[in-house]
């Protein structure tokens, strides 16, 4: 892009303001939506429909005392939220809000920068944001913060691998890593095997396994419920931000909601047509106006944010080993297999081999693979472990462990027996 410097500056200021206002709205939106789900009213007192509540919370964090414990690493403790906040804003530099328009006599895209490797820039920036969370846990010099930082690093790295693999199939199908080119490629995307059903086929339908993997990964990447293990209040107080307050805490709070909007914007751009209107509105020429692109884009992103809120209001928190098993043994293998399938069919399509018997042969192979994955190779249910014989020894393994159901500590056997066999005292006897 060859925009003049003053136009780039205008775009930066507008994007910064939009993200701040959108974050304030999303805080209010989440409280209202969760309130409706749980049969509560949510914020209703301050301002119309309670809209002033989120703004008041933001002002409170700005003027609240910014307390720093004496045992922290003061330099890293201050740098950590700056890294997280900067990465959250920077990721939006390559997100397209609309097509080509004319602004102040200059033809430009409604996008800050359209890079040939825009999606790789998104992955790189979100990876840098991990340091903000890890350094927060390390610099706080607190066991709760350290455990939260370690959880956050393991969780983000694990799910970034699945997220990156989910995006590879999009590169293969679109033939580009530019976010703008990927959106435009979805205008005329065809169904697999060159079958055109007459509808606008966005990539969420064409690459459904990648879309499902990405949606699960983006929830884990943003530390949101049910994957909010780095901030598990019932276990780690507040995780890596336990020692933060005031403006530093506000930066992390802001980064969390911006990251939630960022991964939703990536899903919208790569899988749901970005700024393109949904079918059949694409058949109405006035609705294909590039200036309406931001409206369609915001609506789609807000629907993904609603999914985040829905999950938070309905699902319990995962156990940590279950969460890591889902990422490493579930999402990553599925993504690798799907990449091989997409690469194979793209190669066959490029060589005009998806015709006649090859077409039907490919369909049969895909159907057989789906049946094999769903119904073949299921693990047999494990047999129940035999109950241990003899008295229970709590120190058999070198450290005390609680008894299993049905087991009784040796020193408690006589107490339990005497209590069970003792007659109940009458009304006139001594208790």
Average pLDDT over residues 217-242: 79
- How large is the C-alpha radius of gyration of the chain? 27
Write down the pLDDT at residue 301. 94
Determine what percent of the chain is predicted with pLDDT higher than 70.
80
pTM greater than the 0.75 cutoff: yes
* Contact criterion met (CB below 8 Å) for 150 and 137: yes
Q: Quick one: average pLDDT of 231-241?
A: 75
What six digits make up the tokens of 225?
């419920």
Cα–Cα distances in Å, from 174 out to 53, 171, 178, 395? Answer: 43, 5, 9, 61
Give per-residue pLDDT as tens, 2-57: 788 889 899 999 999 999 899 989 989 988 898 888 888 888 888 888 888 888 88
pLDDT bracket for residue 99 (50, 70, 90): confident
Helix axes 332-350, 208-221, angle to 10 degrees: 140
- Is 152 a residue whose pLDDT tops 50? yes
Q: What is the mean pLDDT of residues 116-135?
A: 87
Q: What are phi and psi of 106, to 5 degrees?
A: -120, 130
Mention every residue, 6+ apart, whose C-beta is less than 8 A from residue 329: none
Task: Determine if the peptide bond prior to 226 is cis (ω within 30°).
Answer: yes
* Domain-wise residue ranges, the chain: 64-342
Q: Is 194 left (phi over 0), alpha (psi -120 to 50) or beta?
A: left
Whether residue 166 contacts residue 213, with contact meaning beta carbons closer than 8 Å, is answered with yes
**Alpha-carbon 27 to chain mean position:** 17
Residue 68: CB atoms within 10 A of its CB come to 16
Of these ranges, 77-81, 91-95, 149-153, 239-243, the one predicted with the greatest mean pLDDT is 91-95
Distance between CA atoms of residues 176 and 347, nearest Å: 15
Contact between 160 and 216 (Cβ < 8 Å):
no
Q: How confident is the model at residue 149 (pLDDT cuts 50, 70, 90)?
A: confident
- How confident is the model at residue 132, as a pLDDT? 85
Q: pLDDT tens across 266-298, in order?
A: 999 999 988 888 877 777 777 778 888 899 999
The model's pLDDT over 153-189, given as tens digits with 9 standing for 90+, comes to: 888 888 888 888 999 989 888 888 999 989 888 877 6
Q: Which residues contact 19 (CB under 8 A, 6 or more apart)?
A: 89, 92, 258, 261
> Are the CB atoms for 37 and 31 separated by under 8 Å?
no
> Is 375's pLDDT higher than 70?
no
- In angstroms, rounded to a whole number, what is the distance separating the alpha carbons of residues 304 and 265? 8
Predicted pLDDT at 212: 92
User: What integer pLDDT is reported at residue 338 of this predicted model?
Assistant: 87
CA–CA gap between residue 297 and residue 285 (Å, rounded)? 18
Most confident of 156-165, 401-410, 420-429: 156-165
Q: How far apart are CA 285 and CA 203, in angstroms?
A: 23
| Across 318-331, average pLDDT | 84
- Percentage with pLDDT > 90 across the chain: 13
């Amino acid at each position: 892009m060859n925009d003049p410097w003053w136009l780039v500056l205008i775009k930066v200021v507008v994007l910064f303001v939009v993200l701040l206002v959108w974050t304030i709205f999303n805080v209010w939106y989440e409280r209202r939506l969760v309130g409706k789900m749980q049969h509560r009213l949510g914020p209703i007192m301050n301002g119309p429909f309670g809209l002033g509540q989120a703004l008041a919370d933001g002002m409170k964090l700005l003027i609240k005392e910014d307390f720093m414990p004496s045992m922290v690493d003061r330099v890293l403790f201050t740098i950590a939220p700056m890294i997280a906040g900067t990465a959250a804003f920077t990721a939006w530099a390559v997100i397209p809000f609309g097509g080509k328009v004319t602004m102040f006599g200059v033809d430009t895209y409604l996008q800050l920068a359209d890079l040939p490797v825009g999606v790789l820039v998104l992955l790189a920036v979100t990876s840098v944001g991990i340091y903000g969370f890890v350094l927060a846990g390390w610099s706080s010099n607190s066991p709760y913060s350290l455990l939260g930082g370690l959880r956050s690093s393991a969780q983000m790295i694990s799910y970034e691998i699945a997220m990156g693999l989910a995006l590879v199939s999009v590169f293969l199908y679109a033939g580009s890593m530019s976010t703008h080119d990927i959106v435009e490629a979805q205008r005329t995307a065809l169904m697999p095997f060159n079958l055109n059903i007459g509808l606008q086929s966005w990539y969420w339908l064409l690459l459904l396994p990648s879309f499902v993997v990405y949606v699960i990964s983006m929830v884990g990447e943003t530390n949101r419920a049910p994957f909010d293990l780095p901030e598990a209040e019932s276990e780690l107080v507040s995780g890596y931000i336990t020692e933060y307050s005031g403006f530093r805490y506000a930066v992390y709070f802001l980064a969390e909601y911006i990251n939630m909007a960022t991964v939703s914007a990536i899903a919208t751009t790569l899988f749901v047509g970005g700024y393109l209107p949904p079918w059949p509105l694409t058949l109405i020429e006035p609705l294909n106006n590039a200036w309406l692109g931001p409206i369609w884009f915001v609506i789609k992103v807000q629907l993904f944010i609603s999914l985040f809120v829905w999950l938070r209001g309905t699902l319990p928190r995962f156990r940590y080993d279950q969460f890591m098993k889902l990422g490493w043994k579930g999402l990553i293998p599925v993504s690798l297999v799907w990449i091989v399938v997409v690469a194979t069919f793209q190669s066959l399509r490029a060589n005009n081999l998806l015709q006649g018997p090859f077409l039907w042969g490919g369909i049969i192979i895909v159907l057989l693979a789906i049946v094999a994955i769903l119904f073949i190779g299921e693990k047999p249910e494990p047999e129940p472990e035999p109950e241990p014989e003899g008295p229970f020894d709590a120190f058999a393994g070198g450290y005390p462990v609680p008894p299993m159901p049905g087991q009784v500590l040796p020193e408690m056997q006589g107490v339990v027996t005497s209590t069970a066999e003792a007659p109940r005292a009458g009304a006139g006897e001594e208790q």
